[in-house]
Structure 1
Amino acid sequence: MGISWDPWGHGKTVVRAGGGLTYEIPHLSLFLGQNGVENASTAGLNVIPTAPSTGIPGANGTIAASAVNLTGDLLNWSVAGPVFQPAINCDPATGGTPCDILGVSRSLRTPYVITWNLNVQQQLTPTTSLQAGYVANRGVKLYGVRDINQVNFANDDGSEQLGRPFTANCPVAQGGLGLGGPCFPFLEFVNFLDNGYTSIYHGLQATVTQRAWKGLNFVAGYTWAHSIDDVSLNRAQQPQDSTRPGLERANSDSDLRHRFTLALTYEVPSRKGYGHLLEGWQVNSILTIQGGLPWNLIDGNINGSDSSGTGEFADRWNITSSPANFKPSTTGIPFVDPSFFTVDTNSGHVIGGTNAASNTCFSIAGSQEAKDQLASLGCYVAGSSVLTPPAFGTFGNIGRNPFRGPRLDNLDFSVVKTTNLNERVSVQLRGEFFNILNHPHFANPNTQGLVDPSDPTSFGFIFNTPDVAAANPVIGTGGPRNIQLGLKFRF
């Protein structure tokens, strides 16, 4: 729904307001696998087993082949056998391991987005106008996944499985702690899909439009905005702590605070003669200046860290001072190696550092358990900011998407010469220069290794231009300077 109003009645000022309600159409893949989460293994189940299966055809288990969700490496590619394994062994007592499962809330609802806007457009001259507007939207009942069987470190015996609620609830005779409640000792990660997530966006948008003034046309736009959410994608990374998913509320993956664009076209004044050589010239340019996008930190257990002891591989570290000091680069983020920390040979505890950076980490780490982590995982120091691993059995204090990637400054330019051959046919010669200044552009760290602080050989490294990182190596989408020549006949 939208309305417009001319408050003065002279057609030079227009006030517009609008709003809308849009429902998401869920796709089937939401409910058919374990894609997008870090904890699940290569196989997951879409039904809850009520007894173990030993992997023997016809065994007394409830996990049928049709209920097993397998990836390509678990398929049987032999033409002489069945496509799938007959069953998966979820019983540790018979040599198997507990199985992962995807659960869906019985009260699942369709997510929706509410949008609203208010803007004012003012004519400044007969050919120039200014428009300023407030634009917002709110996502409600968004899909997200959390592990409702996450390890409770206080109940765990080091195996991780005993600390899981659906095991700890079981009677002692079944390997549990007798806590009561749902008992499913054959389950490990229970990734639960529900509607517990929201998003919000507020933006100021300003546009100046110039139309046909002495051959000049341009549109200049500036956006100042902020986007916040709990999860930026359906079935995205599960929370660091699934018992407190609200702590994931932070800058959205797409939170672009500042963006300026200028699209300009200039018709060069023509002169007759010289075989049309001085006629039909046009120059065009598009200037884009924008800030960096957020990127997340996820300790994915590349080096066996698992600081929280949950096995979720979604841990984050502790930070002191501003995350803005940690900037991705082609050389990564300054790392303090574990070898720079002194370990007492009698107690096995870290008792100090051997240089200024390691001593800074040691003094900031906090508890002795956190200090001991330094000898295994090291730390990062950038200016006054320090990034240290949390004590084992705890979660880091840094929020989701704490860092900002590189900004983007890009200028595209083109020259066009149009020659009329007759009243119906013309030929156009185009010279197009993408990123004409050849300014280097880099995408955010966007793979598991590049955002994992437990792997200093790749954490915070940027290797790709935006086009390659997006698997879209098309001219004009963030790559190096490209020059393109074209010839077009119009009739």
Structure 2
Amino acid sequence: MGIAITPDDPTGPTILDFASGMRVGFSPQGPTGLIDNTFTWTDTLTWIKGAHTFKAGGTYTPYQNNTVYDFYINGQFDFVGVGGASGPYTKNDHADFMLGLADEFIQYPAAPSNIRSKNVGGFFQDEWKLRRDFTLSLGVRYEYSSPKLDLQGRSFTWVPGQQSTVFPNAPKGILFPGDAGAPRGANFPDKNDWAPRFGFAWSPGQGKTSIRGGFGVFYDILKGEDNLQFNGQAPFFAFADLSFDPLMTNPTAEITNMTRPFVAAGQPNPFPSTPPQKNLDFAAAGFLPLGGGGVYSVDPHLRTPYIYQYNLDIQREINSNTIFDIAYAGSNSHKLTGLLDSNPFIPGTTSRIFNLPSGNPTNAFNYLDTFANVGLANYNSLELGLRGRPREVRALGNVSYQFSYTYGKSLDTTSGFRVLNARNARVPYFDRKRFRAVSDFDLTNYISLAGSWELPFTKAWENGPSRLTSGWTIQPIFTYRSGEPIDVFANLSRNRTNPGPSAAGDQNLVRVNQVAPVTYFDPRLSQSFNGRSGNYFFDPNAFSTSGLTATPAQGFDPVNNPSQRTYGNVGRNAFRGPTRTNLDFSIAKRTNIDERTRLEFRAEMFNALNHPLFRNPNTTFTSGTFGQISSTGTSSGGVSDSQPRIIQLALRLIF
């Protein structure tokens, strides 16, 4: 297609990504060279003294990560299709592609890193048996993980207004290892990770009741996400995040932004990347404006996330075969990690925070995604259980069962960063708790019932052949769960020159506006909206992005009119997807051939009723299938809930 780019390590064609859902090209994750060396030293000591059982121990784990990281190394063009205030854009992503007009281009380097860290921990615990029926457990644990650092010093941090002495020509505000006020690695050390524990177990009366409870503080290990600070960052490596509209308003047939993206954006081409010199001219090297999709930093004051966990459980033996259980479980999480734009637009201006100090007359900084402690979360649940041990039930034969029900609620400000199914890990700079809502994975109700029934054919046919009538067992497993939360974004692209409807540059956090009551439909039936037919779960016309476009419409000025500043009137995770009901079923026949040999036949059915288990609908507002459910199953791909009915047969000879 005439795309003129110079990757560090070309591994395939440039990726084309369309807002309507189509993607052309290989995975953005290219070949990655990885050498990890992990060593662990650990020991535990136990001392029993009277009613006390003392335990103490420690562990030491040095961490090494040696990586050559290829990500978007061949570049990617994004076609948003929302149109602009000027220029030849058509407001159709596919038509813009045919004209060679992309909205954004990103390209990363081949980026080596040599990361080191050390993890140490120690604990002491006393299990004290105060009485025959009461045990108390007290303990404390200490953990420390040294901040990750690159052996070659390839990291940086943001300190507004301070000039680097390591790279004297760097824009004010970006510092490197060796600069005053900059950490040696990803962040400054956090040495305050003390974690006390408390628990008890009480069996009052005749031993038919058990009461247990506990409280503990638990520290997480900072995930490998902070490794990304060392992968492909300026000025140690080249990167590119080019926004063309409205930068490129007069493309020609010879120079579209797809054929020569750096020329079209008026930016120097920094590829292939080379090691920087201390007197590096950041502008001439193509590193300005710093920021965008190619820059990733860690908050220098990052702290280890931690969680308070607490529970109380009461278990009662109703009779010799039946046990009832009721429990409360809760948690409260603090300093959870996510992304924060450290360089938002200041409301009331069209300037970003880092571009205001003198010395940055050319808007040297774009948006700056920073890995920081931005999240809070809590979880509360009521858990009920009823368990029946195997027993003979008159003419029914041998029966056992286990029933459980959980009524819970999980709230957070963001549901994880780059974890499975996490939809968005960013929070607004000026209001970090704005999107506190039910978690992406919240399930209000969950019911499970499993059982085993040995069929009493021998009793029903006393004179029948025992090898035929004995050994039959059926085992059903029934589950029900509430629908998962769904989020409806306006699907706006961030722009370094436009503050967008939030006036803070947070376009990718903007949800849609709800303009009518939401009507839900049976996804097994086809509906038609706006000339399109499909299996709609909700009415797409209930939502609109009017007044939310990345380029302000006439009369829309959130910078100077605070009343117009909005993230859309639909809250985070405001709706629920379809509920799920499933039945798995198995039947088995065991036949004794002699005293030492047994033949076992099993027939297992997953989704035995062949009930459709729908995925969540498409919530990409700009997609042609917005509001539709196009597949069944779950993104995790579990066998029992991702397929039509499956029957598998097995025959085993046991000897």
Shared fold (TM-score, shorter chain, > 0.5) = yes
Structure 2: gaps (5+ residues): 1-197, 242-269, 393-397, 532-539, 555-561
Shift of 1:175: 2.6
In the other structure, the counterpart of 1:488 is 652
Once the two structures are superposed, residues 227-272 of structure 1 have per-residue CA deviations (whole angstroms, 9 ceiling, x without a partner) of 0011111356244633212102110111100011100100112526
Q: Secondary structure at the match of 1:246?
A: coil
Query: 1:224–1:257: 8 Å Cα contact kept in structure 2?
Result: yes
Query: 2:515–2:543: 8 Å Cα contact kept in structure 1?
Result: no
In the other structure, the counterpart of 2:619 is 451
In the other structure, the counterpart of 1:208 is 386
Query: 2:342–2:370: 8 Å Cα contact kept in structure 1?
Result: yes
- Residue 253 of structure 1 pairs with residue 420 of structure 2: no
In the other structure, the counterpart of 1:354 is none
In the other structure, the counterpart of 1:404 is 576
Distance 1:222 1:427, change over 3 A: same
- Residue 108 of structure 1 pairs with residue 302 of structure 2: yes
Separation in 2 of the partners of 1:245 and 1:332?
A: 40
Match of 1:394 among 566, 587, 607: 566
- Residue 219 of structure 1 pairs with residue 413 of structure 2: no
Query: 1:144–1:231: 8 Å Cα contact kept in structure 2?
Result: yes
Residue type of the alignment partner of 2:510: D
In the other structure, the counterpart of 2:345 is 151
In the other structure, the counterpart of 1:230 is 413
Distance 1:334 1:25, change over 3 A: farther
Residue type of the alignment partner of 1:454: T
Q: Secondary structure at the match of 1:277?
A: helix
Residue type of the alignment partner of 1:319: Q
Separation in 1 of the partners of 2:328 and 2:528?
A: 41
Match of 1:318 among 513, 516, 519: 513
In the other structure, the counterpart of 2:606 is 434
In the other structure, the counterpart of 2:641 is 477
Residue type of the alignment partner of 1:193: F
Separation in 2 of the partners of 1:211 and 1:154?
A: 68
Query: 1:238–1:314: 8 Å Cα contact kept in structure 2?
Result: no
Shift of 1:418: 0.5
Residue type of the alignment partner of 1:268: L
Residue type of the alignment partner of 1:165: I
Distance 1:361 1:84, change over 3 A: closer
Query: 1:240–1:315: 8 Å Cα contact kept in structure 2?
Result: no
- How many residue pairs end up in the alignment? 392
In the other structure, the counterpart of 2:220 is 24
Q: Secondary structure at the match of 2:355?
A: helix
Shift of 1:428: 0.8
Query: 1:286–1:412: 8 Å Cα contact kept in structure 2?
Result: yes
Residue type of the alignment partner of 2:323: S
Q: Secondary structure at the match of 1:443?
A: coil
Separation in 2 of the partners of 1:211 and 1:424?
A: 27
Separation in 1 of the partners of 2:200 and 2:501?
A: 54
In the other structure, the counterpart of 1:351 is none
In the other structure, the counterpart of 2:478 is 287
Structure 1: gaps (5+ residues): 35-43, 48-62, 71-81, 157-162, 177-184, 338-356, 377-389
Shift of 1:332: 9.7
Query: 1:108–1:194: 8 Å Cα contact kept in structure 2?
Result: yes
In the other structure, the counterpart of 2:592 is 420
Residue type of the alignment partner of 1:481: R
Query: 2:342–2:369: 8 Å Cα contact kept in structure 1?
Result: yes
TM-score, reference length from structure 1? 0.69
Distance 1:169 1:322, change over 3 A: farther
Q: Secondary structure at the match of 2:221?
A: coil
Shift of 1:213: 2.5
In the other structure, the counterpart of 1:12 is 208
Q: Secondary structure at the match of 2:328?
A: strand
TM-score, reference length from structure 2? 0.53
Shift of 1:480: 1.1
Separation in 2 of the partners of 1:140 and 1:96?
A: 35
- Residue 118 of structure 1 pairs with residue 290 of structure 2: no
Separation in 1 of the partners of 2:543 and 2:202?
A: 60
Residue type of the alignment partner of 1:99: G
Residue type of the alignment partner of 2:414: V
Separation in 1 of the partners of 2:567 and 2:502?
A: 6
In the other structure, the counterpart of 1:99 is 291
Match of 2:322 among 128, 132, 140: 128
Separation in 2 of the partners of 1:106 and 1:293?
A: 35
Separation in 2 of the partners of 1:297 and 1:104?
A: 28
Distance 1:102 1:333, change over 3 A: farther
Distance 1:458 1:393, change over 3 A: farther
Separation in 2 of the partners of 1:424 and 1:120?
A: 43
Greater relative contact order (CA < 8 Å, ≥ 6 in sequence): 1
Residue type of the alignment partner of 1:315: V
Kindly report which structure 2 residues correspond to 1:31-50, keeping only aligned pairs within 5 A, or say none: 31-32=227-228, 46=233
Q: Secondary structure at the match of 2:610?
A: coil
Shift of 1:169: 3.1
Shift of 1:226: 0.3
- More displaced 10-residue stretch of structure 1: 100-109 or 413-422: 100-109
Query: 2:584–2:607: 8 Å Cα contact kept in structure 1?
Result: yes
Separation in 2 of the partners of 1:375 and 1:186?
A: 27
Shift of 1:2: 3.0
Shift of 1:4: 1.9
Q: Secondary structure at the match of 1:189?
A: coil
Shift of 1:98: 4.3
Query: 1:410–1:439: 8 Å Cα contact kept in structure 2?
Result: yes
Residue type of the alignment partner of 1:484: Q
Q: Secondary structure at the match of 2:650?
A: strand
- RMSD across aligned C-alpha pairs, in angstroms? 4.0
Shift of 1:168: 2.8
Distance 1:414 1:361, change over 3 A: closer
Query: 1:328–1:406: 8 Å Cα contact kept in structure 2?
Result: no
Separation in 1 of the partners of 2:378 and 2:631?
A: 30
Once the two structures are superposed, residues 344-374 of structure 1 have per-residue CA deviations (whole angstroms, 9 ceiling, x without a partner) of xxxxxxxxxxxxx99x999xx9xx9579x99
Residue type of the alignment partner of 2:434: L
Once the two structures are superposed, residues 124-145 of structure 1 have per-residue CA deviations (whole angstroms, 9 ceiling, x without a partner) of 2221111111111111211111
Once the two structures are superposed, residues 277-315 of structure 1 have per-residue CA deviations (whole angstroms, 9 ceiling, x without a partner) of 111000110010111011212222379996446264221
- Identity score, percent: 28
- More displaced 10-residue stretch of structure 1: 303-312 or 479-488: 303-312
Once the two structures are superposed, residues 24-57 of structure 1 have per-residue CA deviations (whole angstroms, 9 ceiling, x without a partner) of 12232333159xxxxxxxxx8645xxxxxxxxxx
